């Protein structure tokens, strides 16, 4: 049964809305992948505040145009699954790359910040640190100078205490003799 024009408009509007909210969009092929495995990937992505849709390329092109994003028509050939990264980009990219690692299909490309990433550039998103890892590094960088100052101050106090202890032991030996 063909999809009505109204239904297509609703699909385009929903896709354009998702594209507007997304930090990045990852385009992959899904040909030959079992539906159950794709459902598992979708559930995994949902837990990362991301989503995945399988859509017709013509509807995706119209939604990209409506959202004011670049349209990589060379990447929109054949069946396309679209992953929307709403918050963290690296986590979903790693999950998709891990999922596709043993499969025959690969990541086609990505759209991030108004730029189209192809092939290796899109796969490099999976090597980025996650948002939590970046916050940890930032916190460590901010905390490092304070920790170093505390160590230097404690070291000075420790040296004075060792000196006083040695003098007390020396006086005890002189008093005992």
Q: Which two tokens stand for residue 74?
A: 């060379």
Mean pLDDT of 81-107: 85
pTM: 0.69
**What's 5-128's CATH class?**
alpha beta
DSSP per-residue string spanning 26-55? EEE--TT--HHHHHHHHHHHHHTTEEEEEE
In the predicted model, what is the mean pLDDT of the chain?
A: 85
Would the pLDDT of 38 be above 70? Answer: yes
Summarised one tens digit per residue, pLDDT across range 40-71 is 888 888 888 888 988 889 999 999 999 888 88
Q: Count the residues in the chain.
A: 177
pLDDT beyond 70 at 164: yes
C-alpha distances in angstroms, 83 versus 21, 79, 129?
Answer: 12, 13, 18
Give the pLDDT band (50/70/90) at residue 1: low
Q: How far apart are the first and last CA of the chain?
A: 109
Closest by CA position to 48, among listed 13, 20, 83, 76: 83
């Amino acid at each position: 049964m063909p999809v009505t024009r109204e239904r297509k408009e609703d699909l385009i509007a929903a896709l354009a809305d998702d594209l507007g909210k997304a930090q990045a969009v990852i385009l992959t092929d899904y040909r030959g992948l079992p539906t159950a495995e794709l459902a598992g990937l979708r559930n995994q992505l949902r837990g990362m505040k991301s989503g995945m849709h399988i859509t017709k390329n013509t509807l995706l092109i119209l939604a990209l145009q409506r959202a004011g994003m670049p349209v990589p028509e060379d990447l929109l050939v054949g069946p396309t699954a679209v992953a929307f990264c709403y918050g963290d980009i690296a986590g979903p990219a790693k999950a998709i790359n891990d999922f596709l690692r043993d499969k025959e299909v690969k990541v086609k490309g990505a759209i991030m910040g108004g730029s189209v990433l192809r092939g290796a550039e899109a796969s490099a998103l999976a090597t980025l640190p996650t948002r939590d890892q970046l916050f940890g590094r930032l916190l460590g960088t901010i905390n490092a100078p304070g920790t170093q100052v505390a160590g230097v101050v404690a070291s000075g106090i420790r040296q004075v205490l060792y000196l006083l202890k040695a003098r007390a032991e020396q006086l005890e030996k002189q008093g005992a003799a």
